[in-house]
Structure 1
Amino acid sequence: MAERHHARARSFYPRLTRSAYLRPMNSKTIFSTEPHKGWLPWGILAPFLFLAFVIASVLIPSPWLKSLGLEDAKGGPIGLNGMYAYLVVAFALNGLMVLIWIWLVERRPLSTVGLTGPAPLATLFRGLLIGCVTISAVVASIGFAGGYQLAGFGPALSSPTALGSMALLLLCFAVQAGVEEFIFRGWLLSVVTRKWGQLAAVVVTTLVFTFLHWSPGQAWQDMLSTALFSVFACLWAIRAGNIWGVMGWHIGWNWLLSIGFELPVTGFVIDLPALLVQLIPQGPDLLTGGAVGPEGSLICSALLLIGILFLLRPRKA
C-alpha cells in the first residue's frame, strides 16, 4: 500500500531454525538478539517519535515540490512526474531519518531491524514475485465475482514510452515500499518488541500504519483491509526473521497494481495504460473497493485474512 501523506509454497519462505518459528509472541526479540548500545525509546514514546519522523519528512520537501509544480495544495502528486517525486522524496528522507536515529541514538546494528539473513537479494526478489501473484489473485477474484468489465489486453505493450515509465515506477515503488517496510516492520516493530513483546508490537505497528493511511470520510472496509495488510506484513517479518521478503512483497504488490490493470492503488490513479488487462470497475464498492481500488474490497480483506492464518500455522518439526 502506498502511504497516504503524503499463499504460496513453503519454498518461497526462508527456512529458519525451529526456535525462530516457535518463539512466543511475548518474546522481546524478533530479528536479532544483539543488544543496543545507546538509548532505546520507551514503548509509549516510539509511535509518537515515528509520527514525528513522518511529518518532518513530508513538511520539509513540500515547499520545494510545490515550487516545481509536482505537488498540489493538499500535498498530492501532480501528474506522473509528481508521482515519481511523491514516491521517492519524502519516503527516502523518512528512511534516512530513521536510519540516522538507529545509528546515532539507539546505536544498534541493522540486523536488529530485519536487515539480516542469507541471500537478501534472492529473498527480496521472491517476495516481489509473491507480491505480483497475490495482488493479481485479488484482482482476479474481484473479476470472477463480477466486479470488472474487461476493456482490453495489454494496451501498454504498444507504447515504449509507457513501458519506460513503468520501469521507472518499479524503482520508485522500491523506494516507497522498501522504506515503509524498513520503518514500520523493521524499526517500529522491533523497538516496541524490545519494550513490550511481539504481540503488543504488532498491535502498535498496525494502529500507526492504519492511522497514516486514513483520510476523512474513508469507508470502514478500506481501514479493515489496511489493518489486515499490516498484520500480514508484521507476521511475515516475524516468521521469516527478516524484512527482505515482505519488503519485496510490498514492492511487487504496489507496482503491479499501479501499472497492471488501470486501477487505483490506495486511491492514487497512475496515468498509464494497463500492462496486463484494462479493467473497468462495476458493482458495489464493497466488491470493487471504489475509489480506493482493489485494496478496499472485502475480497482483498478476505484473502489477507487467509494469508494471516497461513502465517500463524504451526511449523512442523
Structure 2
Amino acid sequence: METLTRKQKLFNFPVTKIIFALIAFMAFVVVGQQIAGKLLGLTALDKDIRNLFKGIIVSALAIISYSIFFKYYEKRAVTELVVKGLAKNLIIGTLIGFVLQALTVLVIYLNGGFNIIAVNPISFILIPLTVAFTIAIIEEILVRGIVFRIIEEKLGSYISLSISSILFGALHLANPNSTLLSGLCITFAGFLLGAAFIYSRNLWFPIAIHFAWNFTQSGIFGAITSGNEKTNSLLISKIEGSTLLTGGEFGPEGSAQATLFCLIAAIILLALSHKEKKIIKPYWKSSDFNNQL
C-alpha cells in the first residue's frame, strides 16, 4: 500500500504531469499532422485548401488529445474545454484580440509609419486564418492548459502566471528576428492570455484572444507576426519608423504600445478575477494546508 501511495504522489507531482502531458500531446499532434499531410497530398485540392483542412485536423487532434489525456490521468471532467458558453468566450475573446492589435497599429499609423499600398481579394486571408487558429489552439493548450494550469494547482495563480508568461516569452526568442525586447513584449502578451484563462477558467477565451491578435496583425494589416515571414493578407502595407513603435522585423506585437495595451487588459482581467474570487492561492496559504498544521 505504501508503494502505491508513493506512485500516486509521483504521478500527481506537477512536473511529472507536465512532462507526461507534453509528451502525449506532442506525439499525438505531430503524428496526426504527418498523416493528415500525406493523405491530403494525395488529393487534387488546392494547396491553400489542403492547408486549411490540415489546420482543422491538427487543431481537432490537439483538443481531443488534451481532453482524453486529462480525463483519464486526472480522473475528472475537462471543464476548461466545455462547449457551454463557447460562443460568448469566442466572440468576446476575438473582439479583445482585434481591438488590442488594431490599437497597436493605430499608434504606428498616427506616427506616420503605417501605409496601405493595396487591398487584396478576401480570399487572401485564408492562409493567415489557418495559421492563426492552429497556432492559437496549440500554444494555448501547451502553455495555459498544461503548464499554467498544473503549476497553478500548487503555487497559485500569480506565481504560475509569472512562470508561464516568462516561458511563453522565452519560447519566442527562438523565432527569427527576435530580441530581448520582443521577448519581453511577448511575455506581457502571455501575461494577458494567462489572465484571460484565470478569469474565464476556460481555454476558449485565451484561444480566441490569441487567434484574433495574430490574425488581425498578419491577415488583415499585412504585418510581420513573431518575426516570421509575411503571409498573404487583406491589406498590403508598408510599416516603417522607430523599432520601439513598430516592433521592427519582429512585428508590431514587439512594440512598446502592444506591451502597454496587453498589460492594461491583463490588469483589468485580474482585477475582475480578484473581485469574483477566481484567484487561486498557493498551497501553503490554502485552508486545507493550514488545517493540517
CA shift, 1:287, in A, is 2.0
Matched ranges for 1:173-192 at <5 A = 173-192=132-151
**Structure 1: runs of 5+ lacking an equivalent:** 1-36, 71-78
TM-superposed deviation, 1:55? 5.6
Instruction: Letter of the 1:101 partner, please give it.
Output: F
* CA separation of 1:138 and 1:97: change in aligned 2, threshold 3 A: same
1:150 Cα deviation from its structure 2 partner:
3.5
Structure 2 gap ranges (5+):
1-7, 42-46, 277-293
* Of 218-227 and 40-49, the range deviating more from structure 2: 40-49
How far did 1:102 drift? 0.6
**Alignment match, 1:246:** 206
Query: Could you tell me the TM-score, scaled by structure 1's length?
Result: 0.68
Q: Which residue of 1 aligns with 2:115?
A: 149
Larger Rg: 2
Aligned ranges 1:75-224 → 2 under 5 Å:
84=52, 93-111=61-79, 114-116=80-82, 118-152=84-118, 155-156=119-120, 159=121, 163-167=122-126, 169-170=128-129, 173-215=132-174, 218-224=178-184
Moved more, 199-208 or 163-172: 163-172
Within 2, Cα distance between the matches of 1:250 and 1:222? 16
284, 290, 293: which one aligns with 2:251: 293
Distance change in 2, residues 1:278/1:230 (3 Å): same
- Residue of structure 1 equivalent to 2:264: 306
**Aligned CA-pair RMSD:** 3.6
Distance of aligned partners of 1:40 and 1:145 in 2 relative to their CA distance in 1, 3 Å threshold? farther
The alignment status of 1:282 with 2:204, answered yes or no, reads no
Q: Percent identity?
A: 22
Greater RCO (Cα-Cα under 8 Å, separation 6 or more): 1
Shift of 1:300: 0.9
Tell whether 2:15 aligns with 1:44: yes
Distance 2:250 2:50 in 1: 19
Task: Tell me the secondary structure at the aligned position of residue 14 of structure 2.
Answer: coil
* TM-score where L is the length of structure 2: 0.73
Q: Closer, same or farther in 2 for the Cα pair 1:82/1:116, shift >3 Å?
A: closer
Tell me the matched-pair count: 262
1:199-220 C-alpha deviation (Å, 9 max, x unpaired): 2221222233223222176211
